[in-house]
A and B are shown apart, each in its own frame.
Chain A
Amino acid sequence: MKDFIIPNWDETDMGTPASKATEQVTLTIDGFPVTVPAGTSVMRASAEAGIQVPKLCATDSLEAFGSCRLCVVEIEGRRGTPASCTTPVAEGMVVHTHSPKVKKIRKGVMELYISDHPLDCLTCSANGDCELQDMAGAVGLRDVRYEGVENHFEVRQNGEANARYIPKDDSNPYFSYDPAKCIVCSRCVRACEETQGTFALTIEGSGFDSRVSFGAKSDNALASDCVSCGACVAACPTATLQEKSVIEIGTPERSVITTCAYCGVGCSFKAEMRGDEVVRMTPWKHGKANRGHSCVKGRFAYGYASHNDRILNPMIRDTIDQPWREVSWDEAIAFTATKLRGIQEQHGVRSIGGITSSRCTNEETYLVQKLIRAVFGNNNTDTCARVCHSPTGYGLGKAFGTSAGTQDFDSVEHTDVVIVIGANPTDGHPVFASRLKKRLRAGAKLIVIDPRRIDLVRSAHIEAAHHLPLRPGTNVAVLSSISHVIVTEGLYDEAFIRERCDWDEFADYAAFISDARHSPEATALLTGVPADAIREAARLFATGGNGAIYYGLGVTEHSQGSTTVMAIANLAMMTGNLGRPGVGVNPLRGQNNVQGACDMGSFPHELPGYRHVSDPAVRDVFDKLWGSKIDPEPGLRIPNMLDAAVDGTFKGLYVQGEDILQSDPDTKHVSAGLAAMDCVIVQDLFLNETANYAHVFLPGSTFLEKDGTFTNAERRINRVRKVMQPRNGYADWEITQLLANAMGAGWTYTHPSQVMDEIAATTPSFANVSYELLEERGSVQWPCNEAAPDGTPLMHIDGFARGRGRFIVTEYIATEEKTGPRFPLLLTTGRILSQYNVGAQTRRTENVVWHDQDVLEVHPQDAEVRGIKDGQWVRLASRTGETSLRATITDRVSPGVVYTTFHHPDTQANVITTDFSDWATNCPEYKVTAVQVAASNGPTEWQEDYAAHAAQSRRILPAAE
């Protein structure tokens, strides 16, 4: 039962947020001396002393509001009974929290609340989890003298319909809003504003008529601006805003702290359980990445784990045109091992390989690359980071010496100017976006560099100081012109550069960047961004205080992805924005464990810890432990594996938790490569698109069903804890071990902690990491070793990992993917809040109510020229292929640019994308494709053929009895 232990952190609601002041104040509360930071509320100071002042409208995730009047106290020398939540402590203050006077007031207040609240506690969904109920008990309410002449909770009053009664709003798929139970404490409204930053809720009316309202008068929860993050539901003290799963199942009886398996923010969650059923996932307030916040995916979209489509038995087939045959684990593993060894005998040791998953744990990824290196005997391992953040690893490695972001997420609270480039945090990394928006509302400035007008450019209470709507593919030109302005106008931080970088190298770089061809005036023609806007943005970033750069796949997924990452590093170094809170270079990682997958040696040329396979000393460390002889030659990258397959030299592939057919570019090339192999093994939750070409399907387990760790975008190693038994029988790491042992490996792991111990023993940046440490600390950021036993929240504080920061010349070279008469528009791709990546999980949840198909965003001008109407089917064609989807007409995209998402396999946006890729890392150029758009009648022939083939490939024979 060791795994069910929750780190022992107090979950007491302290009532108001902690004060960040350093000055200490001592006061006396109910006779006890208490010392707290100045600015602390009397309520929080009492809680620190172990005295709970009754409260309803206060909670420690929100600023004090002072509306419920239940928390009144008496303070000696002050008149009246001030609210303890809004009263700050003062030196020498003497507070009485339970005097006869305040006790009487509280009882009276409570009586009034209850006079307009139904007394149906026994059948209420919040029974046992209701603060109103708790407070009624705490103040000793025994009787309600008032009978409301008018109330909000009775459907009928005096035989007539009650005009004040508002029926329950069940429009949101995950939670319900029942106004009859509302005490109008405003916690939900404040959570939506302060925590989430969406402002979808309000209090309508005044006085007794005050009610919580989603959006305007005729809106409901679904029709409003609500993004279903669940902050309001978490803040609600009653059953008014309640998860539907709790209404259906009942209150949870235990909880396990774990880590969300969606994006790279890596939010900590409490999986609240009843038996082995998840009742709800609630964000954990001590989670250091999310600080108690969540988004619709992590909070609610976990239903895929129990979806009917999930495959629970292993399946095999000899050829891909046959139906699947369900077999025992033994048979499946033996079949696979025999096939793989057979291929190697016939085609050589290097004829097989594998792909590790950024969705799986560090331990699982480590074992897959160990399987490939030690058991397969080659380095043909790659991971989906190839197609997302490989340029980050390369670029930051070259500039700073470490292939990772430099900050923790808390750093955003100290930033003054933020550049967001090629990222759409409100959709892709929503919890980080909420933290960023909070900082922006507090006055930080924002520069958005994106071809599309993302929500951060302008949405409620935030507005970017500059939006630079560049043409897709011109990132390097824009960043170079920003650097040009900073260098030529003398806005660089000379002291920082002299101290931390090589001055001569900077001088060379400065000479290069000062050339007139990099000036905003010269690049404006290429980039489409006005020179003035670039100059102003550059001045703002260089002179506005702490400057932080956050970027996403809009930077990396280009033919110059690595160059752009280096340009970002240059910009941060020349402005001195590294090595302290509020600054830094922050890649926003797409998948939950993309950082971890890279760290764990998934790449064909790197062993765990980013150490090249050609280094004999590093190979020796592993060879000694594994009893292996690691191939000194780097293996094949994903695109090379597919090329080799088409050439007939690569015959077998083990794919764990990846859907390369849907997610990798140029779908037709991927399918041709897969079809040419003799043994494709897919290990996944569902029969994904890649599985259409597989010979073996090994059912995978969800993050709820296994132990392990994920490493998020801030290098934070978070624990994933098993809350239920794997429905498929084995955790993914066990399946890899079964396969390894069937191939003669002789592994004997019984728990992922042993794998972590092996990682720590072999990888210097993980040297001090162990499950014991993670139990104690909750999480830790690598490097975590002798030099940094507590981990490293901020990197490069006194010097760069590589010694001196390196300025690298970043010449802009236009992509070969160019528009022309046949393909005059540029397609760029992205994602949407409610769906995740290829959608395998989110499409199998209620999240589809927000996004049930991919649509193509077209600018009104481009639409008009082509006679395209909103909602109409259009044909989207590139040099590579074509597909059809519906158009939506919007000026969010610039003229000449179209945009879509890739969440749905029936659209297959990647049929369109080309096989151009980053010069250094082969990261595909998803973000720029020259296309043409024309009106159409419906799906293309290719889409229909594809759908028919998919249906054919997914047939499963009934199991032999």
Chain B
Amino acid sequence: MPKTTATADLADQVAEICARHAMAEGPMLPILHDIQADFGYIPEAAIPVVAKALNQTAAEVHGVMSFYHDFRSAPAGRRTVKICRAEACQAMGANDLADTAKARLGVDWHGTTKGGEVTLEPVYCLGLCACAPAAMVDGQVIGRVDDARLEAVFAEAGL
């Protein structure tokens, strides 16, 4: 028995998302994407609902969800900043950039600032090696990131 039980609203909303994909082949990932799009993360209470809809178990849904770093189990800050840590960006100073960001925000990787302004995450290659070091702010990639550009992002986020 899962300890977390979905509230009626959440269960209905998740069940509705599952129903949208009922006919699809391999619907679990599209369902998880839609849940994350609607809720900003995948609430644990949604997992049994997805499991029931797909006639699988909570363990299996958890296994798939936790395999992909992009699926969150808790809400992110208002902005998500991903700094690329792949080889090209590291060669162009991404590690220093990351240290600056961590110090400025007072969080480690995957952390969210106290006021919920920014979540900092690592990412492994954005395909923007020509403009390294690269980062991604809420889905928007930015190239040739330096301390100043980063600061501008944080300032805009209200920090």
Contacts and interface: CB of A to CB of B under 8 A. Distances in A.
A205 B58 contact: no
Interface stretch (B7-15, B59-67, B77-85): B59-67
Given A217-B44, A219-B2, A204 B62 contact: yes
Interface string A189-201: 0000000001111
A850 to B, nearest CB: 10
B124 to A, nearest CB: 11
What DSSP secondary structure best describes chain A's contact surface?
A: loop
Contacts of A217: 44, 62, 66, 73
A463 interface: yes
A218 interface: yes
Given A216-B59, A216-B61, A458-B55, A223 B3 contact: yes
Contacts of B48: 216
Contacts of A459: 55
Contacts of B44: 216-218
B1 interface: yes
B57 interface: yes
A607 B63 CA distance: 58
Interface in A200-256: 200-206, 213-219, 223-225
A460 interface: yes
Interface in B97-149: none
Contact of A461 (B2, B55, B61): B55
B59 A202 contact: yes
A225 B57 CA distance: 8
Contacts of B60: 199, 202, 460
Interface string B15-51: 0000000000000000000000000000010011001
A188 B19 CA distance: 32
Nearest to A225: B57
Interface in A459-482: 459-463
Contact of B59 (A205, A224, A462, A463): A224
Contacts of A463: 55
A461 B51 CA distance: 10
Given A199-B60, A201-B59, A463-B55, A216 B2 contact: yes
Q: Considering residues A206, A215, A458, A459, which has the most beta carbons from chain B within 10 angstroms of its beta carbon? A: A215
A205 B67 contact: yes
Interface residues on B, range: 20 to 34
A658 to B, nearest CB: 34
A457 to B, nearest CB: 11
A217 B44 CA distance: 8
Nearest to B48: A216
Contact of A204 (B3, B56, B57, B63): B63
A217 B58 CA distance: 9
Q: Considering residues B2, B51, B57, B69, which has the most beta carbons from chain A within 10 angstroms of its beta carbon? A: B57
A760 B84 CA distance: 79
A218 B3 contact: yes
B4 A215 contact: no
A460 B56 contact: yes
Interface string A493-504: 000000000000
A200 B44 CA distance: 16
A522 to B, nearest CB: 34
Given A205-B67, A206-B67, A223-B1, A216 B62 contact: yes
A460 B57 contact: yes
B55 A218 contact: no
Interface residues of A, number: 25
Interface in A714-754: none
A201 B63 CA distance: 9
Given A219-B2, A223-B1, A223-B2, A213 B57 contact: no
Contacts of B59: 199-202, 213-216, 219, 224-225
Contacts of B58: 215-216, 219, 224-225
Nearest to B51: A460
Nearest to B52: A458
Contacts of B57: 198-200, 215, 225, 460
B56 A461 contact: yes
B2 to A, nearest CB: 6
Nearest to B69: A206
Nearest to A205: B66
Contacts of A204: 62-63, 66-67
A857 B22 CA distance: 31
Given A460-B55, A461-B55, A463-B55, A218 B4 contact: yes
A217 B55 CA distance: 19
Contacts of A199: 56-57, 59-60
A801 to B, nearest CB: 42
Nearest to A192: B59
Given A460-B55, A461-B56, A203 B63 contact: yes
Contacts of B51: 460
Contacts of B66: 204-206, 213, 217
A198 B3 CA distance: 18
Contacts of B61: 216
A224 B1 CA distance: 6
A215 B61 CA distance: 9
A215 B62 contact: yes
A164 to B, nearest CB: 14
Nearest to B1: A223
Contacts of B47: 216
Nearest to B61: A216
B60 to A, nearest CB: 6
B8 to A, nearest CB: 14
B44 to A, nearest CB: 6
Contacts of A461: 55-56
B5 to A, nearest CB: 12
Nearest to A211: B66
Nearest to B64: A202
B65 to A, nearest CB: 9
B157 to A, nearest CB: 27
Contacts of A219: 2-3, 58-59
Interface string B144-156: 0000000000000
Nearest to A206: B67
A202 B62 contact: yes
Q: Considering residues B44, B56, B60, B73, which has the most beta carbons from chain A within 10 angstroms of its beta carbon? A: B60
Q: Considering residues A223, A460, A462, A463, which has the most beta carbons from chain B within 10 angstroms of its beta carbon? A: A460
Interface in A369-388: none
Contacts of A203: 63
A219 B60 CA distance: 13
A211 B78 CA distance: 30
B75 to A, nearest CB: 15
Nearest to B4: A218
A738 to B, nearest CB: 49
A16 B136 CA distance: 47
B69 to A, nearest CB: 8
B63 A202 contact: yes
B51 to A, nearest CB: 8
Contacts of A216: 2, 4, 44, 47-48, 58-59, 61-62
Interface in A646-679: none
A121 to B, nearest CB: 30
A204 B58 CA distance: 12
Contacts of A218: 3-4, 44
29 contacts: A199-B57, A199-B59, A199-B60, A200-B57, A201-B59, A202-B59, A202-B60, A203-B63, A204-B63, A205-B67, A213-B63, A213-B66, A215-B57, A215-B58, A216-B61, A218-B4, A219-B2, A219-B3, A223-B3, A224-B2, A224-B58, A224-B59, A225-B57, A225-B59, A459-B55, A460-B51, A460-B56, A460-B57, A460-B60
Name the 10 nearest CB pairs between A and B, nearest first: A202-B63, A202-B59, A216-B62, A204-B66, A199-B57, A216-B58, A460-B57, A206-B67, A216-B47, A215-B59
Given A204-B67, A216-B61, A460-B51, 13 more contacts: A199-B57, A200-B57, A203-B63, A205-B66, A206-B69, A218-B3, A223-B1, A223-B3, A224-B2, A458-B55, A459-B55, A460-B57, A461-B55
